[in-house]
């Protein structure tokens, strides 16, 4: 899986590599309880876009088929806060 981290604002394109992914079974990604659709690139490659997350922390990324109760794999994805600049002083 790459990348392993992204901002809490979401929008990180995450590539998941494995074996025997099945497009017909409607794969999804679950980031700590937030479900997003997975884009199927082939039996060894899925892609998901991380959803916004309420706080910076490590969370599980679960790959699952929508109609199955069993999951295809679990990895750790880390959300981080984007730094903000309040002022710049010469």
25 φ/ψ angles, rounded to the nearest 5 degrees: -90, 5
How much is the pLDDT for 12? 98
Overall pTM surpassing 0.85 (yes/no) = yes
Q: pLDDT tens across 63-75, in order?
A: 998 888 767 678 9
State the 10-residue block means of pLDDT for the chain, 90 residues long. 97 95 90 95 96 96 85 87 89
How much is the pLDDT for 23? 87
The radius of gyration of the chain's CA atoms, rounded to the nearest angstrom, is 15
How much is the pLDDT for 89? 87
Rounded distance, CA 28 to CA 64, Å?
Answer: 5
Rounded distance, CA 44 to CA 58, Å?
Answer: 25
């Amino acid at each position: 899986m790459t990348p392993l981290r992204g901002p809490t604002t979401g929008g990180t394109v995450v590539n998941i590599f494995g074996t025997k992914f099945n497009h017909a079974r409607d794969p999804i990604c679950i980031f700590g309880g937030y479900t997003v659709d997975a884009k199927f690139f082939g039996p060894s490659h899925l892609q998901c876009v991380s959803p916004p997350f309420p706080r910076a922390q490590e969370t599980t990324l679960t790959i699952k088929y929508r109609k199955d109760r069993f999951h295809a794999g679990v990895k750790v994805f880390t959300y981080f806060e984007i730094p903000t600049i309040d002022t710049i002083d010469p």
